[in-house]
Amino acid sequence: MNAVTEPHRPYYIPNPSPYPVVLSGALFLLGLGAALRVNALTAGWWVLGAGALLAVYVLFAWFGRVIGESRAGVYGLQEDRAFRWGMLWFITSEVVFFASLFGVLFYERNIAVPWLASFNAPHSALAPFSPWPHFTAQWPNGGPAGQGFEVVNPWGIPALNTLLLLSSGVTVTWAHAGLRAGRRTQLKAGLALTIALGVTFLGFQLHEFSEAYRVLGLTLHSGVYGATFFILTGFHGLHVTIGAIMLAAMLARTWRGDFTPENHFAFEAVTWYWHFVDVVWLMLFVFVYWL
Amino acid sequence: MSAANLSSEQSHAQHHDAPPRGITRWLYATNHKDIGVMYLVFGVLMFFVGGLLAELIRSELLTPTMRVLTPEAYNQVITIHGLVMVFAAVMPITTGFANYLIPLMIGAPDMALPRLNNWGFWLLPAAAVLLVLPWGLKLIGIGTGTIDTGWTMYAPLSIQAGPGADFAFVAVLLLGLSSTMASINILVTVAQQRAPGMSWLRLPVFVWSWVITALLLIAVFPALMAGCIMQITDRHFGTHFFSASGGGDPVLWEHIFWFFGHPEVYILLLPTAGLLPHILATFARKPLYGYKAQVYSFCAIGVMSIVVWAHHMFTSGMPTDVNIYFMLSTMAISVPVAVLFFCWFGTIWRGSMTFETPMLFALGYIVLFGIGGLTGLVLSDAAADQQYHNTYFLVAHFHYALFGGPIMGIFAALYYYLPKMTGRMYSEILGRWHFWLTLAAFNLVFMPQFLLGIAGMPRRIPDYALQFAPLNMVSSIGAFALGATQLLFLYNILRTAFGTSGAVASARVWEGSSGLEFTLPSPPPFHTFATPPAID
Amino acid sequence: MSGEKVLRLGLSGVIGAAFLPVRAQARAFYNFQTPVTPIARDVLFIHDLFLVIIAILFAAGIGLLLYTVYAHSRRRHRTAATFTQPVGRKQWLWASTPFVALLIIDYVVLGIPALHSIWALADTRGAEMTVQVTAHQWHWQYQYPAYGIGFSSDLSTPARQIDDRAPKDKHFLLEVNHPLVLPTHEKVLLVLASSDVIHAFWVPAFGVKQDVVPGYLRQTWVEIDKPGVYRGQCAELCGVGHAFMPIVVQAVPPAQFQHWVAAERAREAAVQATASATYSEAQLILRGRQIFQSNCAACHQSNGLGLPGAFPPIAAGHPFAASAPMLAALRARGFYRHGLIVEGPVPNHIRIVLHGIPGTPMPSFAAQLSAADIAAVITYERNDFGNHTGDVIEPATVAALKDGH
């Protein structure tokens, strides 16, 4: 089943490496900084900053190292497959992460809010005891003690953003086709176009958030609607940002002459990630903005 | 940290078979055995930390109003005891076995992603430090100590809690990252690195148990991570996920927690349930009974464990139909678990058994975990659970399931593989004393707790009514004995690892052992199976 | 039902035989409390049934294990068999019997009584009376809407017993100043709510355990068939006072219950009257000490020192560190200056006790304490623990702030 296609080539086992332990240290600092910061301790900013700097540095060094190894040709088919499976499982765990957030949206909207309103039902024996006597179930909902707010019109910026991300899915595939066919100009153009679309998406998204806060009164404090809206769109935006950074790294590597039509795992991994982010957006558009 | 000259490092890697010297061997490790050993050492260390906390709990409960801890400190200690034992003791130890053994068992040169492997490990100490750091901060006047909500961290008690809660939620995020990375690595390794001829249905049972465990971790841990993020935003950024005033629901956290938490029970259990048949077969000198049945049972348990979570919430006020669904689905899990028991019995039945320490612990596992499982059957009943839930009956049940299962299994596996790892035999006499004293003391601690629960003692209380006093004293005395007994174990493993008095272990170690790991010398060389072994 | 009775009889025989030596003290010591509601009897029946079944399963398992350990040890069985799975239809049939038996046990023997009991528990129709139960950190509050009465029920075990400075009485930690009184032989609907975190209402003799969730309502019911006093506890970790919020139910025959209602109404009317009465400082301090011990001492401690970091001290001159919202609230109210608790303005003090501090464990006492009681406890706090403000607060002052808000 896993026939070793290169029988004389032992699997590449890297030498002892400082990056993992230092990256753990960086994440420790990030965690510590965050925990201090949310409790209004100023030292938190410094610890967070130190952690972030260290993390960025290690990521550069670690990825640089792996890219160096790849260029030196130490990776064979088996290593390549290992990376692919690793990336796929990582994306799977991300899928679970977003699925749980959608699960939360489902629970709040279809279980929690109707439950809270059910105490007021006309024939309910509990009606005299209802903690929220005037509450009715509807969506969007800011909760029985919430302030009023308006929601984002799905057919404005969100629809445009859907178009942007869907086209970016096409352009990245076009870039990939270029890479496979050895047309490097197409590859570069496709990548640049994808990044541009992604950045535009992010810009629109930021604009939408600021509108929500300033004009619509829709904030993190707007009950379950605001909470689920911002956590879902916020984490998606974070993933688009990460994806765009990774695409930019791919563009830089392309410029440097990396990737061959046969061997370009890193590029493929980033496209998988980008498509994943696309699909999440479609779900967001339907379940958060539209329905 | 700069990238050194590649080509020279490469030749170094390919031609050298000795471990690097000094502390960097461990800090910078990429070798699966070294990383496995670090996981084991860290886990055992944390087992003693968690055990110390348990002794504090039992000291407080020695008499109805014993004042070893304030009620506030008591709540912190029970919380950290739970979190440490689950996340920092049992999970790292089973992951350590996975790292050490899986490449040896499937004839792989190493784990598929060695650097990722080391990252996964080093996130653990970071998380453990974050978890207990609030106690240190409290000493210098910052905050109120660690999280004090119980390891279940139910909202809105968790929203009310002091800064320690933020440290705990951040620690869980790091733990989740660590487990996800370890799981990805294990799945890729098993899918990728098997020696030619090692087909899926020839994988040792232990490897299968970890495949299911890793899949479970990837399927549920991200949900808990999402939940922890929501806890933090509820605490500090004004969201209302778990608060009714904004339309949220505290019970949603219970769903998220147990959606993770129930599979977590099997994540703790499956790896040792996978090691058990190896040990039973070795000392019964018989082949494994019902290999396929065990593998399919693991798969069934994996799938089922994801859809039964809310049986932890029968008293939370869910609709009746929901309670009934979760009761009926939970009862179904008893079947694949019973299949495992059946296969364990089948493996030793009409064997030719000897009773070395690993075998004693394996048999002890069957008995104690059997009690845990049978009382679990009782708890699955949504009606009777009205009486059992959150009492000492429940506490006794899950300690029989999680000490009687994973920890007895860990003892068995440590004694079983210690000679392989160190090249020396442990002291059999001390090992047997350790087993019999552990068995006796464990029952002394937890058998009375079943009775306490039935008599109506709720869990997580530092002071209790007078009718519970006699049994609590018995339980506490048992706990002191159980704790003291573990010092024997510590001495025995240290003596084996660092001493020279133990007999030298052969490659095969045990007369009845089989498997690729026993074809290698004891201890195995630093790099093994650089060329894959031939599997007939 | 008769089948059930036969089963129950048979069961008690089996259980009796199995635990003969300790049978005498069984009920009191390690079994469920004697059930007094239909649900509790159902649950005890299921429990007993379970006990027998798992005892049989365990005995069978351990018997097999001991047998094989004895008979198939190397000394007695030198050559191991080599089978790895059942062979032939007969063996497969034998091998599958345990699982068929298990399924029958799960879904028939245990499943049917369980379903019966679950449906019975969920059936809250036809209640003759409703009591609202509200959980607070850390005591219970009971209201009888049909009779217009209500009160809070606090732990009455003196702090000295908890601190081991006095001998403990029989119902140590399971006694309250004001038990929930319920009539026997009437179906009583309990509507449960919480004002802060999740608690759980649990009285073992009723077979009922129900979590209460803040912002939501839960319901359950009891129909007690025997007069008596039944004791239970909060069963969900709810903070530092979790062990100190017992539930005591006094079940009385319906006629006696009506008497109690009348007496309770009179008592509450008298309390209402106290709001316009005036008291001497000594009277207020005396009453205030009692109120403090039963309502405030769980957090602020009976010596007024609080718990450093978690609960602010009342006592004079003690520095305090706490969560940001708590400190901000204290500072805004003038209670916190230069890291020390000081005596702030009287109206702020009254407001804190009346309305609590949102976002912190400090609860609202407006619904639980009468104006006179609040006046008393504040007078006490401001004239004890090393505080010497000399303020004497009149119930009318409190009542005015209560209504004005």
Give the start-to-end residue ranges of the domains of chain C: 2-122, 129-272, 275-404
Neighbours of B1 (CB within 10 A): 12
Percentage with pLDDT > 70 across chain A: 97
CA C151-C156-C159 angle, to 5 degrees, is 140
Cβ of C175 under 8 Å from any chain B Cβ? no
Sign of CA dihedral B160, B161, B166, B172: negative
Task: For residues B41 and B43, give the distance between their C-alpha atoms in angstroms, rounded to a whole number.
Answer: 5
Structure tokens at A147: 């302030």
Gap between the Cα atoms of A174 and A190, Å rounded: 6
Amino acid B188: pLDDT: 96
CA gap B6, A17 in Å, rounded? 12
User: What is the crossing angle of helices B408-422 and B250-284, to 10°?
Assistant: 50
CA distances from A226 to A144, A230, A288 (A): 14, 6, 11
Q: Measured between alpha carbons, how far is residue A165 from residues A176, A198, A236, A271 in Å? A: 16, 7, 12, 13
Report the alpha-carbon distance of residue B279 to residue A170 in Å, rounded. Answer: 55
pLDDT tens per residue across span A216-230: 999 999 999 999 999
The pLDDT confidence band at residue C22, using thresholds 50, 70 and 90, is very low
Spatial contact of C141 and C368, defined as CB atoms under 8 Å apart: yes
CA–CA dist A173, A248 (Å, integer): 16
Tell me whether B244 touches chain C (CB under 8 Å): yes
CATH superfamily membership of C275-404: Cytochrome c-like domain (1.10.760.10)
Q: Give backbone dihedrals phi and psi of C252, rounded to 5 degrees, phi first.
A: -130, 155
Helix axes B91-106, B164-192, angle to 10 degrees: 10
**Residue A157 Cα, gap to closest chain B Cα (Å):** 24
Enumerate residues 6+ apart whose C-beta is below 8 A from B464: B61, B64, B457, B472, C173, C243
Q: Give the strand order in the sheet containing C246-252.
A: C180-183, C246-252, C228-233
Q: What span, in angstroms and rounded, lies between the C-alpha atoms of C80 and C103?
A: 32
In whole angstroms, what separates CA C279 from the centre of its chain? 35
Rounded distance, CA A291 to CA C177, Å? Answer: 54
Per-residue CA distances from B284 to B344, B359, B515 (Å): 11, 9, 15
Give me the sign of the Cα torsion angle A94, A99, A101, A102.
positive
In this prediction, residue C137 carries a pLDDT of: 87
Tell me what pLDDT residue C29 has.
60
Q: Which of A4, A75, A85 to probe the B interface (max B CBs under 10 A)?
A: A85
Does the N-terminal peptide bond of residue A45 adopt cis geometry, omega within 30 degrees of 0? Answer: no
Residue C344 has what pLDDT?
Answer: 76
Cβ atoms within 10 Å, residue A247: 25
> Quick count: other Cβ atoms within 10 Å of Cβ A147?
13
Alpha-carbon span A160 to A177, nearest angstrom: 26
| Mutation for A interface: B240, B322, B535, most A CBs within 10 A | B240
For residue A15, give how far its alpha carbon lies from the nearest alpha carbon of chain B (Å). 6
- For residues A32, A37, A39, A43, the Cα torsion angle rounded to the nearest 10 degrees is 80
Nearby residues of B405 by Cβ (< 8 Å), 6 or more positions away: B268, B269, B272, B273, B365, B368, B369, B372
User: B324 and C118 in contact by Cβ < 8 A?
Assistant: yes
Scan for tokens 């879902």, then name that residue.
A232
The tokens 């003038």 sit on which residue?
C334
By C-alpha distance, which of A105, A250, A271, A87 is closest to A177? Answer: A271
Tokens of B24: 């960097």
Q: Which residues contact B462 (CB under 8 A, 6 or more apart)?
A: B60, B61, B69, B71, B74, B75, C243
Tell me yes or no: is domain C2-122 CATH 1.10.287. Answer: yes
Q: Within 13 A of B155's CA, how many CA atoms are on the CB side?
A: 28
Q: pLDDT of B274-333, one tens digit each?
A: 999 999 999 999 999 999 999 999 999 999 999 999 999 999 999 999 999 999 999 999
- The Cα–Cα gap between B257 and C357 comes to 29
Rounded CA separation A119/B154 (Å): 24
> What is the count of residue pairs from B and C with beta carbons less than 8 Å apart?
279
pLDDT class for A125, splitting at 50, 70, 90?
Answer: confident
Closest Cβ–Cβ partner in A40, A128, A131 for C215: A131
Q: Which amino acid is at C366?
A: A
Closest CA to B355 of B520, B512, B503, B489: B512
Spans of chain B below 70 pLDDT: 1-17
pLDDT more than 90, % of chain C? 43
Chain C residues whose CB is inside 8 A of the B338 CB are 98-99, 102
Place of tokens 């974050």: B130
Smallest Cβ distance to B245: which of A28, A82, A144?
A144
The predicted pLDDT at position C342 comes to 64
Is C200 close to B315, i.e. CB distance below 8 A?
yes
For residues C110 and C50, is the Cβ–Cβ distance under 8 A?
A: yes
Mutation test of the interface with chain B: which of C237, C238, C311, C327, choosing the one with the most B Cβ atoms within 10 A?
A: C237
Burial of C187 (0-12, 13-18, 19+ CB in 10 A): middle
The domains found in chain B, sorted by start residue, are 28-519 (1.20.210.10)
Nearest CA to B39 among B53, B24, B26, B25? B26
pLDDT on residue C164 = 84
Average pLDDT, chain A: 92
C166-217 per-position pLDDT tens digit: 899 999 999 998 999 999 999 999 999 999 999 999 999 999 999 999 999 9
SS in 3 state form for chain A?
A: CCCCCCCCCCCCCCCCCCHHHHHHHHHHHHHHHHHHHHCCCCHHHHHHHHHHHHHHHHHHHHHHHHHHHHHCCCCCHHHHHHHHHHHHHHHHHHHHHHHHHHHHHHHHHHHHHHHHHHCCCCCCCCHHHCCCCCCCCCCCCCCCCCCCCCCCCCCCHHHHHHHHHHHHHHHHHHHHHHHHCCCHHHHHHHHHHHHHHHHHHHHHHHHHHHHHHHHHCCCCCCHHHHHHHHHHHHHHHHHHHHHHHHHHHHHHHHHHCCCCCCCCHHHHHHHHHHHHHHHHHHHHHHHHHHC
What CATH topology corresponds to C129-272? Immunoglobulin-like (2.60.40)
Beta bridge partner(s), residue C132: C143, C191
Residue for token pair 């993190």 = A220
Structural domains in chain A?
17-74 (1.10.287.70), 77-290 (1.20.120.80)
Is residue A7 very low, low, confident or very high in pLDDT (cuts 50, 70, 90)?
A: low
Find the DSSP H helices in B193-290. Answer: 205-236, 250-284
CA B462/CA B472 separation, integer angstroms: 11
Asked if residues B301 and B336 have their Cβ atoms less than 8 Å apart, the reply is yes
Kindly list the residues from chain C whose CB atom is less than 8 angstroms away from the CB atom of residue A116. Answer: 215-216
Report residue C308's pLDDT band, with 50, 70 and 90 as the boundaries: low
**Tokens at B71, concatenated:** 């009620």
What lies within 8 Å, CB to CB, of C66 at 6+ separation is none
* Planar angle of CA B483, B434, B282, nearest 5 degrees: 135
B59 to B56, B84, B250, B462, B463: CA distances (angstroms)? 5, 19, 33, 10, 11
Whether the pLDDT of residue C24 is over 50: the answer is: no
Give the pLDDT confidence score for residue C160 in this predicted structure: 84
Tell if the CB–CB gap between C124 and A125 is shorter than 8 Å.
Answer: yes
Contact B138, B222 (CB under 8 A): no
ipTM (interface pTM): 0.94
Alpha carbon distance C65, B507 (integer Å):
31
Q: What is the pLDDT of residue B364?
A: 96
Cβ A128–C127 below 8 Å, yes or no?
no
Per the CB < 8 A criterion, the answer to whether B255 and C51 are in contact is no
Spatial neighbors of C3 by CB under 8 A, at least 6 apart, are none
Contact (CB, 8 A) for B438 and B481: no
What is the separation of C-alpha A60 from the centre of its chain, rounded to a whole number of angstroms? 20
Report the DSSP pairing between strands C188-194 and C129-136.
parallel
Q: CA B444, CA A211: separation in Å to the nearest integer?
A: 64
Please determine, for residue C20, whether its predicted confidence score (pLDDT) is greater than 60: no
The residues facing C150 across adjacent strands are: C143
Q: Of A40, A116, A128, which has the smallest distance from its Cβ to C145's Cβ?
A: A128
The tens digit of pLDDT for each residue in C318-374 reads 766 666 667 777 777 777 666 566 677 888 888 888 888 766 778 788 877 888 888
Q: Residue B156: is the preceding peptide bond cis (ω within 30°)?
A: yes
